[in-house]
Structure 1
Amino acid sequence: MDLQISVFLLFILFTAGHSLSCYECKGLNGSCADQTVQTCHSGYSQCMSSTGVSKFGEVSGKVKTKDCAFACQSGSLNLGYIKTTTSCCDTDKCNLQDAPDPSDIPNGKTCYSCDIQSCTNTLICSGDEDHCIQITSTFGGQSTVLKGCASKSLCDGIEFDLGVASFACCKGNLCNGAQSVNQRWEL
């Protein structure tokens, strides 16, 4: 019995001081060639890798990011003018590989998206984006709404209300239309 307690205490001693290490980079030119390893701050329990592609008219760009994460959910998000995929993991230096580029292969699902004038645009979802999402944020009394497509894996981890921003997902074509953001939608 004393041996079991001693082994348990040694295990706690050796694991309590361990901090997660993740690769870090901010590739604004679409490449994470200059990545470094960093020790994550207390409370950051995951490593993440993200690839974002934006297109505004004829101007497009790609950003790759790697870092420590407080909370991270793997999946894809498509707001029409920006698409992103995120990969999350929870072991040392597990984010060596870049997150994949967002898919351009349509999957038959459609959701509403927003532009500067309205949120009634129809967006064709792609890849594993099988849910619609609505993000509402409030800053300085002004409300901003974003709508688009998202993967189920992303929706499973982000449906919540932070007070200044709320995230809600639903399943079904154009289900992120005129419904209230306070309504909880069925996954």
Structure 2
Amino acid sequence: MALHITLLLTTVFFSKALALRCYGCLPDSAGSCTQILTCPSRCGSTTTNVYVDGRKVSSNTAKACADPVLCATGSMNSGQSKVTLNSQCCNTDLCNSANAPDLPQKPLNGKKCFTCNATTDCTRTLACEGDETQCFVTTADVDGKKVTTKGCSSKLVCGNGTLALGLPVQPYGFGPFMKCCEGNLCNSAQGLRVYFLMLVPLLSLIVF
């Protein structure tokens, strides 16, 4: 009994010792962030940027407790529009006071994916950058019209989708749900059908 009590008290005090105070908010109009959160182990700051034709048109910084989704970097690129996500995480009290910097430009990685132009021609190709190892296709509502977008994406963004990441990027052609695949130029209509047909037996094995 005494051993159980000792273990319980040790767990309680150890958990408290691990708890951190972190900033947690979206910056206000003055650019400050003063809300304080109690977090289990890490603090984080994430900066999301949107670029159109190479020019930054939107920027958003969030601060919170760091989890696997928040403490990550990635990008998705349709050629005309590009979204970048960069995070910094730390494990001391109020260590996330500074905003995470913009994700730096990454070199081409040799991979290519199909992309679409304004006339819905999706036969052009796009050279992928950095850790953009996935090809994607998504549909978004842009000015009341359904727009199909294709391009390159980091695995993180493809795995979670823009809806899960909370990215306000629909106006730039990136929908909340994305179909993704691995392999050069795999995001043609035929390539995606083959990819998802291959996933069906794999998912059956996992479920059953």
Flag whether TM exceeds 0.5 (same fold): yes
Alpha-carbon distance in 2 for matches of 1:181, 1:137: 23
- 2:36 aligned to which of 35, 39, 45: 39
Aligned to 2:196: 183
Higher helix share: 2
Q: SS at 1:129's partner residue? A: coil
**Structure 2, unpaired ranges of 5+:** 165-174, 200-208
Structure 2 counterpart of 1:49: 46
- Counterpart of 2:196, as a letter, is Q
Q: Deviations over 1:35-85 (max 9, x none)?
A: 42423599xx9734124141248x544524123378535322223212312
Partner residue in 2 for 1:82: 82
1:106 matched to 2:108? The reply is: yes
Partners in 1 of 2:113 and 2:28 — Cα distance? 30
Correspondence for 1:172? 183
CA RMSD, 1 decimal: 4.5
CA–CA separation in structure 2 for the residues paired with 1:129 and 1:13: 43
Identity rate, percent: 30
Structure 1 segment 1-187 matched on structure 2, within 5 A: 1-9=1-9, 11-12=11-12, 15=15, 21-22=22-23, 24-26=25-27, 34-40=31-37, 47-56=44-53, 60-61=56-57, 63-68=59-64, 71-72=69-70, 73-80=72-79, 81-87=81-87, 89=89, 91=91, 93=94, 95=96, 96=98, 98-118=100-120, 120=122, 121-136=124-139, 143-155=146-158, 157-158=159-160, 165-178=176-189, 179-180=192-193, 183=196
The one-letter code of the counterpart of 2:23 is C
What does the per-residue CA deviation read over 1:95-118, in whole Å, with 9 as the maximum and x for residues that have no partner? 445144242522221112334431
TM-score scaled by structure 2?
0.57
For 2:198 and 2:89, how far apart are their aligned partners in 1?
28
If the length of structure 1 is used for normalisation, what is the TM-score?
A: 0.62
Aligned residues: 175
Contact 2:45 2:99 in 1 (8 A): no
Contact 1:37/1:93, CA 8 A, preserved across alignment:
no
Write the distance in 2 (CA, Å) between the matches of 1:46 and 1:36: 14
- Structure 1 unaligned regions, length at least 5: none
